[in-house]
């Protein structure tokens, strides 16, 4: 019995028949080449999602004009030379049983001139909130030319075999800039009232509708609330929605934010799941056309309830499908425990700023053609030392490939540093991902032995062909006068023994571990003093969660000190130094916590090299790693051996 009947019911969007109610969100991958052409890697990436069962794919934002290309990782459709690659993409998706919609986009003032070589344009000469670049105000003649470029892009997309068109009118890009009173201060027919600010969008829709066959889908993606003081709010967006509906829009994809509110635009784990669904419901209440809901929808039960409660007609999945392209099929088949959970860490967003898309939990992004589990013809006896993310990933892949795998974990549970990292507030999804890793290993033939410490002698007695060392970093105390005495503890001890720390706590080191521990403790009513010698807290976190954890700490009253060096630690006090100021004593602390340094853990590898044919060191044992790197290295070793 399908427990998600609405989610897996068919749907008709104009001429587009969809097998279920899931839609892949348009998300930049930078898997195209620097000229904006489709590549084999990009085709393989989207094919995997089509095979995974999504109702239809929305291709990432694609430039209708060179001046509107946000960066050199943006696809293009402004010239016929792009057609062969785009046609190859649609043919591949259709052959895989999928459907694909083209998103047409122009970045306006958010286009980066050092990529385009051209000055950015906008409805009004108002600087970008991100780049601070001053755009050139468009003339009426130029506005009409850009409208025509959207229409030409749509004609090309139809010719290339796309099943629909989505116009990007959200997130601070050009059409959104026209719609918003924050970025449009024109006094002609394209500015002023809601109707006049909507004219640019309206004329794009009307122009495409005239060129599109029959009831070919023309979808508009809007930011129903820009989450800024002077930007669009839901009430005005309802009026815009009705204007777009009258112009011939087939459906409305309801998102939120612009570049000034970017910390909310791609909601990380500090924002609740389904955080923009209320906006979709608000738009749906005033239009008769279908509405698409988006915004950190990770749970199929939530997706089903959104549909059952008539808040939306289709569910848009973004990072959920980056993390697990087979999410729809797994949900349909009832294999919920096999879903590779998105942890909303936003490493994917950070990665496309200067390179190709990567994902913390899915190391196969951009490698879909080569990351295939191929059975080995020469099974080996393999010992994996360490049950953290790197070790678990390696053990699963190696066992799936047919090797005889044994995993030793010196502790009483699997998970490594994930065990306490997932205790921090709002990081429940990290715990779910750890559960996924453990379950996948347990489903293989790998033998797991807990409370088993690896030594050179025990490994020699085991006599493996291959050893994968994933036993974690060597923890080294920070060298601060007095830190080796006076009851100082580290972050892991603090997470595990939080109830015995007392009330007044100092945390020396405001990196990711320090910030998340501070959040954990202040949420439990502790008085926290957090000290960081650099000028910014949380360096090492992606910008989105870094912003939110710092805001949380401020709101909960934590004492935050940056540009502050701790020079001495006593029994219940610390001595701090700020440049150009005399040393200062802070006292009265019940507990002082200092994160340890993570250094390569190479001693065991050196000791077993003489008698183990193959030795590999991965994760923190090789060097301080992020979770992304640890998982990826485990999988790479699993593929290699």
pLDDT digits (tens, 9 = 90+) for 448-494: 999 999 999 999 999 999 999 999 888 888 889 998 878 899 999 99
Residue 2 has pLDDT above 80, yes or no: no
pLDDT recorded at residue 360: 94
Instruction: Give the pLDDT confidence of 527-555 residue by residue, as tens digits.
Output: 999 999 999 999 999 999 999 999 999 99
Cβ contact 494:514 at 8 Å: no
What is the dotted CATH code of the domain comprising 476-598? 3.50.50.60
Residue 334 has pLDDT above 70, yes or no: yes
| Residue 488 to residue 486: CA distance in whole angstroms | 6
Sorted by where each begins, the domain ranges of the chain are 11-351, 381-473+600-640, 476-598
pLDDT recorded at residue 418: 87
pLDDT recorded at residue 1: 57
- Paired strand residues for 122: 137
| Residue 455 to residue 147: CA distance in whole angstroms | 69
Nearest to 64 by CA among 184, 154, 124: 154
| Residue 218 to residue 246: CA distance in whole angstroms | 12
Choose the weakest-confidence range: 257-261, 352-356, 573-577: 352-356
Cβ contact 566:576 at 8 Å: yes
| Residue 99 to residue 200: CA distance in whole angstroms | 29
Mean pLDDT of 159-183: 98
In a 3-state reduction of DSSP, which class is residue 570?
coil
Those residues with Cβ within 8 angstroms of residue 615's Cβ, 6 or more apart along the chain or in another chain: 466, 467, 469, 605, 608, 609
pLDDT recorded at residue 218: 98
| Residue 543 to residue 298: CA distance in whole angstroms | 21
Q: Is 563 left (phi over 0), alpha (psi -120 to 50) or beta?
A: left
**Percentage of the residues of the chain whose pLDDT score is greater than 90:** 89
| Catalytic positions, written as ranges | 173
Looking at every residue in the chain, the average pLDDT score rounds to 95
Nearest to 103 by CA among 251, 218, 243: 218
Residue 8 has pLDDT above 90, yes or no: yes
pLDDT recorded at residue 475: 85
Residue range 11-351 forms a domain whose CATH class is alpha beta
Structure-token pair, residue 387: 């049950």
| Residue 638 to residue 393: CA distance in whole angstroms | 8
| Burial of 309 per CB tally in 10 Å (0-12, 13-18, 19+) | exposed
Structure-token pair, residue 38: 């489709």
| Residue 368 to residue 19: CA distance in whole angstroms | 24
Q: How confident is the model at residue 371 (pLDDT cuts 50, 70, 90)?
A: confident
Question: Residue 484: what are its φ and ψ, rounded to 5°?
Answer: -80, -10
Cβ contact 328:23 at 8 Å: no
Which DSSP string do the residues of 587-605 spell out, in sequence order? E--SEEE-PPEEE---HHH
What is the dotted CATH code of the domain comprising 381-473+600-640? 3.40.50.720
| Residue 515 to residue 425: CA distance in whole angstroms | 11
Instruction: Give the pLDDT confidence of 552-564 residue by residue, as tens digits.
Output: 999 999 999 999 9
Q: From the CA atom positions of the chain, what is the Rg in Å?
A: 27
Instruction: Give the pLDDT confidence of 114-167 residue by residue, as tens digits.
Output: 888 889 999 999 999 988 999 999 999 999 999 999 999 999 999 999 999 999
Residue 269 has pLDDT above 90, yes or no: yes
Q: How confident is the model at residue 221 (pLDDT cuts 50, 70, 90)?
A: very high
Nearest to 241 by CA among 186, 288, 276: 288
Please name the helix (run of DSSP H) or strand (run of DSSP E) that holds residue 494, with its range, or none: helix 491-496
Choose the weakest-confidence range: 24-33, 142-151, 443-452, 571-580: 571-580
Those residues with Cβ within 8 angstroms of residue 429's Cβ, 6 or more apart along the chain or in another chain: 269, 298, 341, 342, 343, 344
């Amino acid at each position: 019995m399908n427990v998600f009947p609405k989610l897996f019911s068919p749907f008709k969007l104009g001429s587009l028949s969809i097998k279920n109610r899931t839609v892949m969100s348009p998300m930049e991958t930078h898997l195209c080449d620097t000229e904006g052409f489709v590549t084999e890697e990009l085709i393989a990436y989207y094919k995997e999602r089509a095979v995974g069962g999504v109702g239809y794919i929305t291709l990432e934002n694609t430039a209708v004009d060179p001046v509107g290309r946000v960066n050199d990782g943006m696809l293009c459709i402004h010239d016929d030379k792009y057609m062969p690659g785009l046609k190859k993409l649609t043919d591949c998706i259709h052959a895989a049983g999928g459907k694909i919609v083209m998103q047409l986009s122009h970045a306006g003032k958010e286009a980066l001139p050092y990529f385009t070589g051209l000055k950015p344009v906008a409805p009004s000469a108002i600087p970008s909130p991100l780049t601070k670049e001053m755009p050139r105000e468009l003339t009426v003649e130029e506005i009409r030319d850009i409208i025509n470029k959207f229409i030409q892009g749509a004609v090309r997309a139809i010719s290339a075999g796309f099943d629909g068109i989505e116009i990007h009118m959200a997130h601070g890009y050009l059409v959104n800039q026209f719609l918003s009173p924050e970025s449009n201060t024109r006094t002609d027919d394209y500015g002023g009232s809601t109707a006049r600010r909507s004219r640019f969008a309206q004329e794009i829709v009307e122009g495409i509708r005239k060129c599109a066959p029959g009831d070919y889908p023309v979808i508009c993606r809007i930011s129903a609330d820009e989450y800024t003081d002077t930007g669009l709010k839901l009430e005005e967006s309802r009026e815009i929605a009705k204007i777009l509906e009258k112009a011939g829009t087939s459906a409305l994809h309801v998102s939120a934010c612009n570049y000034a509110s970017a910390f909310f635009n791609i909601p990380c784990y500090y924002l609740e799941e389904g955080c923009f669904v209320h906006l979709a419901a608000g738009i749906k209440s005033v239009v008769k056309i279908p509405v698409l809901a988006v915004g950190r929808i990770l749970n199929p039960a939530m997706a089903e309830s959104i549909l059952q409660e008539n808040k939306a007609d289709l569910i848009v999945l973004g990072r959920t499908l980056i993390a697990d392209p087979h999410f729809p099929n797994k949900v349909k088949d009832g294999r919920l425990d096999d879903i590779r959970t998105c942890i909303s860490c936003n490493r994917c967003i950070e990665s496309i700023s200067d390179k190709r898309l990567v994902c913390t939990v899915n190391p196969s992004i951009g490698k879909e053609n080569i990351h295939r589990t191929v059975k080995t013809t020469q099974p080996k006896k393999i010992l994996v030392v360490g049950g953290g993310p790197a070790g678990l990933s390696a053990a699963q892949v190696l066992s799936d490939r047919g090797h005889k795998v044994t995993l030793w974990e010196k502790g009483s549970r699997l998970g490594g540093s994930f065990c306490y990292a997932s205790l921090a507030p709002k990081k429940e999804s990290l715990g779910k991902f750890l559960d996924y890793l453990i379950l996948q290993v347990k489903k293989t033939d790998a033998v797991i032995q807990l409370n088993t410490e690896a030594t050179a002698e025990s490994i020699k007695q085991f006599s493996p062909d291959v050893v994968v060392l994933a036993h974690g970093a060597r923890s080294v105390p920070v060298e601060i006068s007095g830190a080796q005495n006076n009851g100082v503890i580290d972050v892991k001890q603090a997470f595990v023994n939080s109830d015995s720390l007392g009330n007044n706590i100092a945390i020396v080191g405001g990196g990711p571990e320090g910030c998340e521990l501070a959040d954990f403790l202040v949420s439990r009513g502790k008085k926290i003093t957090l000290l960081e010698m650099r000028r910014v807290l949380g360096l090492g976190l992606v910008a989105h969660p870094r912003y939110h954890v710092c805001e949380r700490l401020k709101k909960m009253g934590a004492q935050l000190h940056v540009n502050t060096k701790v020079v001495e630690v006593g029994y219940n006090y610390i001595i701090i130094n700020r440049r150009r100021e005399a040393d200062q004593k802070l006292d009265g602390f019940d507990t002082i916590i200092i994160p340890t340094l993570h250094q390569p853990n190479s001693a065991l590898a050196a000791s077993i090299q003489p008698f183990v044919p193959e030795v590999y060191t991965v994760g923190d044992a090789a060097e301080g790693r992020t979770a992304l790197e640890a998982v990826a290295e485990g999988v790479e070793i699993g593929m290699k051996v």
